[in-house]
Amino acid sequence: MVAVDLAEVSTEALMAEIQHRLDCTRKPEKRIILIGPPGCGKGTQSPRIKHEHCLCHLATGDMLRAAVAEKTPLGLEAKKAMESGALVSDEIVIGLIEEATQKPECSKGFILDGFPRTVVQAQKLDEMLAKRGQSIDKVLNFQVPDSLLVERVTGRWVHPASGRSYHEKFAPPKVAGVDDLTGEPLIKRKDDNAETLKARLGAFHSQTTPVIEYYSKRVVALKADRPQDEVASSIAQAL
């Protein structure tokens, strides 16, 4: 975590943060899953949902990429599958989520982004939550036709530390190649190319769409091929 000198933070920003934390104490707990193909906008919508409902945002793809970058044993094991567009093993991602959901920033609940991606992962998640007396409240199904995803994914730029994403045409950063908030460089993900996307979409349709059926009673379908603000208001209604 980056140390911040509070003397340099404006009084307005500090007060807004305190007010937000007070508001958060009154929010009900929520546990949400975001499901959708690569490039459907889950990562883009997550910061708003996180702020509004005081949740933590857990993206297994971001966690795995961090492990690959740090060359941890888990990262080394996951790397090959990720680069080919296949899924990594259920055990690896279940372990990551089991640990992450217990962090203090998840005390009001969580947004799961990119997990569960198989029915086995969903079953294990439900078992884990049941042991804690918890359950999933809503599953948001981001629907975007495959034909739109190639341009969305191949034009994407990412800030690895935060998971913030930009698009060179649809949502460019203020300065090309640089994150708006930190000024740090943006990167292109290795798997954001047309060929790997085919494999990732294949995995989504064969292994992840059954998860939507698994949660059928709690699923809300969202037309996610619309402008960001329209998708955001549909999400606000759904939650």
Nearest distance from C-beta of residue 6 to ligand AMP, angstroms? 34
Contacts of 51 (CB under 8 A, 6+ apart): 20
CA atoms within 13 A on the CB side of 52: 13
- The answer to whether 36 and 115 have CB atoms below 8 angstroms apart is no
Residue range at the interface with ligand AMP (CB under 6 A); choices 46-54, 60-68, 128-136, 210-218: 60-68
Q: Which is nearer to ligand AMP, 19 or 102 (CB)?
A: 102
- The answer to whether 160 and 151 have CB atoms below 8 angstroms apart is no
In DSSP terms, which residues pair with 34 in a beta bridge? 113, 140
In DSSP terms, which residues pair with 175 in a beta bridge? none
Question: How far apart, in Å, do the first and last CA atoms of the chain sit?
Answer: 30
Contacting ligand AMP within 117-136 (CB under 6 A): 117, 121
Contacting ligand AMP within 135-174 (CB under 6 A): none
Q: Is 53 in the site for ligand AMP (CB under 6 A)?
A: no
Q: Which is nearer to ligand AMP, 158 or 235 (CB)?
A: 158
Given CA atoms 2, 7, 13, 18 in this order, what sign does their dihedral have?
positive
Q: Which is nearer to ligand AMP, 75 or 109 (CB)?
A: 75
Amino acid at 221: A
Answer for which of 36, 37, 61, 173 binds ligand AMP (CB under 6 A) is 61
Q: Which is nearer to ligand AMP, 43 or 54 (CB)?
A: 43
- The answer to whether 40 and 142 have CB atoms below 8 angstroms apart is yes
Contacting ligand AMP within 82-111 (CB under 6 A): 82, 85-88, 93
Contacts of 128 (CB under 8 A, 6+ apart): 94, 97, 98, 101
Per-residue x/- mask for ligand AMP, residues 209 to 228, rule CB under 6 A?
A: --------------------
Distance CA 182, CA 168 (A): 18
Answer for which of 115, 157, 214, 215 binds ligand AMP (CB under 6 A) is 115
Q: Is 81 in the site for ligand AMP (CB under 6 A)?
A: yes
Nearest distance from C-beta of residue 21 to ligand AMP, angstroms? 29
Q: Is 37 in the site for ligand AMP (CB under 6 A)?
A: no
DSSP classification of residue 163: T
Binding site for ligand AMP (CB under 6 A): 38, 60-61, 64, 81-82, 85-88, 93, 114-115, 117, 121, 191, 200
